Amino acid sequence: MEQFIVSARKYRPQNFSTVVGQQHITTTLKNAIRNQQLAHAFLFCGPRGVGKTTCARILAKTINCEHPTPDGEACNTCQSCVSFNEGSSLNIHELDAASNNSVDDIRSLVEQVRFAPQAGKYKVYIVDEVHMLSTSAFNAFLKTLEEPPPYAIFILATTEKHKILPTILSRCQIFDFKRITTQDTVDHLAEICQKEEIKAELPALQVIAQKSEGCMRDSLSILDKIVSFTNGELTYKNTLEHLNILDADYYFKLMDCMLNQDLSGALLLYEDINRKGFEGDLVLNGFAEFIRNLLLSKDEKVASLVEVVESFRKRYLEISASCSTGYLVSALNILAEAEINFKSARNKRLHVELALIKLCYLQQALSVVADTDKKKQTDLRPLNFRVIQPVRVADTAPANPVQEKPQIPVQAPPVQPVPKTASGPKLIIEDQLITEKKTTAGKLGSLQKLRQQVSSTTQSSKERSVIFITSELLQAAWQEFIEQLKMNRNPAAQSFEMAELRVVNDEQFTVVTPNNLQQKFIDGERIALTEYLQQRFHNRRLSYQVVVEQREDLSIKIEAPLNSRERFQQLAEQFPLIKDLKDRLKLELDY
């Protein structure tokens, strides 16, 4: 039986021109070899599986080749090349710094460097994962790296360039490897499939390429795995199955349900997905990715960023055209939140379903918000929503909602809907009171009194007229809210203090913050703040928006980087406990 060699090894490129997706590096290296301007130390950085070690090996082979081709490639036929290809060359030394990271390992490497090569021109030392070397090992290496013998070449490879000491960086010629694009990966996989006589559908290869996220080695091992499972016939369907990816078709269907407010459809679909064995978080994540793609598809300029199976691209464009950006962004928000809280949810299934329910009624919620903004245009609403029954129960509005809607603008021009909606519950309470009086006359006297009190307060609170916003009132309310935050030791208090308030009209105002961070803090309290202000001004329609406006005096202050003392002070102001900790433990700042 023929020995099986994994594709990643079998199809490891043998010369520069076959390296996938790193032309900027291979061209430079070839030119350097041709012009004999080779540096003695290289640093190859980049994500894993994009060809760093491969390029290092090709470089080693090429500079030792006895008959290099005119354009700077190895001949792959001379003795040196053959020994390189067989892995028996003595001129290449590979050290895996992940497992050999001590000073002694480096010392023994440096020892070897002293001996000139017996055959060939260069000895090449490849140090993989060089960021794993200990600091002392790095230091032991420095001298050799700076002044190596003329026949020695060092190639350091790392996935984490930021962990390399500057002293090493400055001694190396640095090459940054790029992530391999999906298209390049697909092309390469297709080529291999052709050579291996594997039948593969293009969408299947696209899915593999996307799943491997720019790592060629991953994509090849996925290919190997699926090929061995499927006897060399890759279809879109069996690829999805093996990669545990949910077919994008499901997301399209889900989206359809969301747009049509078809809750039962969405839940049934989720049931179907669930039965197939897909975890809830996977669905949330996949759906978020799907909506992100829709969002990107809205703009032609960024539509190219959407990495989807080609045959779906048109559908993405179609659906994205039919929903608003606001809807998509809010949906993404809901999904992100659901995904974060997924782990702590007890009933995972319910948790996901809840997110789906929210998404189903999101469009309606958004249009209600839009409605209150332009209340007079209610009739022009483009979407005809289903009426949700439970909401109407408390409402005394006539059974036919269509009749009522046009009445709002006619009846009350500066609209104060509060007493209107309140009339229902009030009546009921009174009714109850009357019946109660009849039946339990004296027995429950105190309870009755209590009820009366409650009902009178609820009445009065509901009938209290709306207070219109003025700058002074708003400032006062704002300050009180800040005090509340401070009492709760909420770090957002500082952001609130820095914000500037601008009254827009009787029930709207704008919060101006100097930067995004402050905005985030203030937005984080949105629910509490809205609740607080609406109660205080007796106005359910009160709303505000938070905008970022860079004030010149502030922006300068913010842009200047803080030194460690200032940073500590800032922290201490925000979290007084830190200062306490420092004082109690008698800690000193390390400047």
Which of 78, 165, 357, 571: binder of Zn ion (CB under 5 A)? 78
In three state form, how does the secondary structure of 434-474 look?
A: HHHHHHCCCCCHHHHHHHHHHHHHHHHHHHCCCCCCCHHHH
Which of 75, 354, 397, 408: binder of Zn ion (CB under 5 A)? 75
**Shortest separation between residue 64's beta carbon and Zn ion, angstroms:** 8
Compare residues 21 and 68 and give the one whose CB is closer to Zn ion: 68
| Tokens coding 267 | 């839940």
Compare residues 75 and 415 and give the one whose CB is closer to Zn ion: 75
Contact letters for Zn ion, residues 11-50 (x by CB under 5 A): ----------------------------------------
Compare residues 41 and 81 and give the one whose CB is closer to Zn ion: 81
Compare residues 120 and 514 and give the one whose CB is closer to Zn ion: 120
In whole angstroms, what is the distance from residue 541 CA to residue 468 CA? 11
**Shortest separation between residue 14's beta carbon and Zn ion, angstroms:** 11
Contacts of 326-333 with C-beta under 8 Å, sequence gap 24+, read 326/366, 327/362, 327/363, 327/366, 328/291, 328/294, 328/295, 328/298, 329/295, 330/362, 330/366, 331/258, 331/291, 331/359, 331/362, 332/288, 332/291, 332/292, 332/295
Stretch that binds Zn ion, among 38-46, 79-87, 349-357, 435-443 (CB under 5 A): 79-87
**Shortest separation between residue 82's beta carbon and Zn ion, angstroms:** 8
| Tokens coding 582 | 């420092």
Compare residues 75 and 422 and give the one whose CB is closer to Zn ion: 75
Compare residues 46 and 120 and give the one whose CB is closer to Zn ion: 120
Q: Kindly state whether residue 65 participates in binding Zn ion, applying the rule CB under 5 A.
A: yes
Compare residues 81 and 512 and give the one whose CB is closer to Zn ion: 81
Number of chain residues interacting with Zn ion (CB under 5 A) = 5
Q: Kindly state whether residue 498 participates in binding Zn ion, applying the rule CB under 5 A.
A: no
Stretch that binds Zn ion, among 71-79, 299-307, 357-365, 566-574 (CB under 5 A): 71-79
Stretch that binds Zn ion, among 77-85, 91-99, 161-169, 414-422 (CB under 5 A): 77-85
- Burial group, residue 49, by CB count within 10 angstroms (0-12, 13-18, 19+): buried
Compare residues 122 and 287 and give the one whose CB is closer to Zn ion: 122
Are the beta carbons of 54 and 94 closer than 8 angstroms?
no
Stretch that binds Zn ion, among 59-67, 117-125, 206-214, 240-248 (CB under 5 A): 59-67
Q: Kindly state whether residue 81 participates in binding Zn ion, applying the rule CB under 5 A.
A: yes
Compare residues 56 and 81 and give the one whose CB is closer to Zn ion: 81
**Residue recorded with tokens 């003392």:** 565
Stretch that binds Zn ion, among 67-75, 451-459, 490-498, 530-538 (CB under 5 A): 67-75
Q: Kindly state whether residue 82 participates in binding Zn ion, applying the rule CB under 5 A.
A: no
Q: Cα dihedral sign for 254, 258, 260, 262?
A: positive
In whole angstroms, what is the distance from residue 290 CA to residue 294 CA? 6
**Shortest separation between residue 78's beta carbon and Zn ion, angstroms:** 3
How many Cα atoms sit within 13 Å of 30 on the Cβ side? 18
Contacts of 473-476 with C-beta under 8 Å, sequence gap 24+, read 473/537, 474/501, 474/503, 474/509, 475/501
Contacts of 235 (CB under 8 A, 6+ apart): 201, 204
Residues that bind Zn ion in the complex, under the rule CB under 5 A: 65, 74-75, 78, 81
